[in-house]
């Protein structure tokens, strides 16, 4: 029996969303940032807040944007697949959340509801087909275009959302971090501060990565789950046309599409254990 079936809805939400995607992601992010900072700064004479080449302020900016972008791409892939397999959690008051997203045009656009996925029994039958519909969707503005155009459109859509979310984090998160860094720093010149090469930069990056992961990952996970839940409900109610099963997700000649469809059951069986 799957863990989701053993636990209550609220308990599984806590396990999946809070522990795995929140705290688990934060620990991994913090550990990666610690390792990167160790490689960058250990053995240097002094590390400065602003002055190149070893600038903590610049390092934090790059880390923030890279982490936001990578998190968004990875969660789009893996959380979306979890939803298709039925292993993603469901938020409390999901019906109210989905209805609210449908009514608010800005949220509807941001969550990309029309690019949502259906559960696997009605949607993609294998991981390969899932990736095809994720990156090369045959719907909305992507319909009828080349693979290259669809992929670029996917990147543009995600970049717009990453930039808006990253900008919000940058405005509130980065200045706060620099303000905290002033206290343990040693005044260097008129406007700069210096730090030892170990352990301050490593510990600072660990805390920075941990807190950023604790905020960034759950937000991205929530966007993906809410998108798919809203899309599924709108398909069920007839507000949106169901994209699966259809030939929209298959490209190539009719013979290739037929071959893909024949392969789907075996692909589905091969990923059964993962779901």
The model's pTM: 0.85
Contact 74, 220 (CB under 8 A): no
CB proximity list for 113: less than 8 A, separation 6 or greater:
101, 102, 227, 230, 231, 234, 240
Pull the structure tokens for residue 46. 């002094």
Q: How far apart are CA 92 and CA 272, in angstroms?
A: 27
Q: Which comes out higher in pLDDT, residue 5 or 140? A: 5
User: What are the beta bridge partners of residue 193?
Assistant: 187
Residue-level pLDDT at 243: 61
Mind listing the pLDDT tens digit for each residue in 18-30?
A: 999 999 999 999 9
Q: Classify residue 220 by its DSSP letter.
A: H
User: Above pLDDT 90, what percent of the chain?
Assistant: 73
User: Above pLDDT 70, what percent of the chain?
Assistant: 88
123: pLDDT confidence band, cut at 50, 70 and 90? confident
φ, ψ dihedrals at 188, nearest 5°: -135, 105
Mind listing the pLDDT tens digit for each residue in 198-250?
A: 999 999 999 999 999 999 999 999 999 999 999 999 999 999 887 654 444 44
CB proximity list for 165: less than 8 A, separation 6 or greater:
68, 72, 216, 219, 220
CB proximity list for 193: less than 8 A, separation 6 or greater:
48, 49, 50, 181, 182, 185, 186, 187
Residue-level pLDDT at 106: 96
> Is the model's pLDDT at 45 over the cut of 90?
no
Q: How far apart are CA 166 and CA 170, in angstroms?
A: 6
Bond before 245 cis per omega within 30 degrees:
yes
């Amino acid at each position: 029996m799957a863990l989701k079936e053993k636990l209550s809805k609220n308990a599984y939400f806590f396990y999946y969303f809070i522990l795995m995607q929140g705290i688990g992601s934060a620990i991994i992010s913090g550990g990666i940032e610690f390792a990167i900072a160790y490689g960058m700064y250990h053995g240097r004479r002094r590390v400065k807040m602003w002055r190149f080449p070893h600038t903590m302020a610049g390092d934090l900016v790059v880390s923030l944007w890279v982490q936001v972008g990578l998190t968004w791409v990875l969660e789009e892939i893996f959380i979306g697949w979890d939803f298709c397999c039925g292993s993603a959690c469901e938020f409390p008051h999901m019906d109210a959340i989905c209805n609210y997203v449908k009514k608010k045009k800005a949220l509807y656009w941001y969550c990309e509801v029309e690019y949502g996925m259906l559960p696997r029994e009605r949607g993609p039958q294998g991981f390969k087909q899932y990736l095809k519909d994720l990156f090369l969707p045959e719907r909305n503005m992507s319909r009828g275009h080349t693979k290259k155009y669809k992929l670029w459109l996917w990147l543009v859509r995600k970049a717009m959302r990453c930039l808006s979310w990253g900008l919000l984090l940058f405005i509130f998160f980065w200045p706060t971090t620099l303000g905290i860094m002033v206290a343990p720093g040693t005044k260097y010149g008129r406007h700069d501060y210096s730090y030892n090469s170990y352990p301050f930069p490593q510990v600072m990056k660990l805390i920075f990565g941990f807190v950023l992961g604790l905020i960034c990952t759950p937000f991205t996970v929530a966007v993906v789950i809410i998108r798919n839940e809203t899309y599924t409900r709108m398909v069920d109610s007839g507000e949106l046309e169901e994209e699966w099963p259809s030939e929209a997700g298959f490209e190539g000649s009719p013979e290739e599409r037929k071959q893909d469809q024949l392969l789907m059951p075996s692909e589905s069986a091969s990923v059964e254990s993962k779901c």
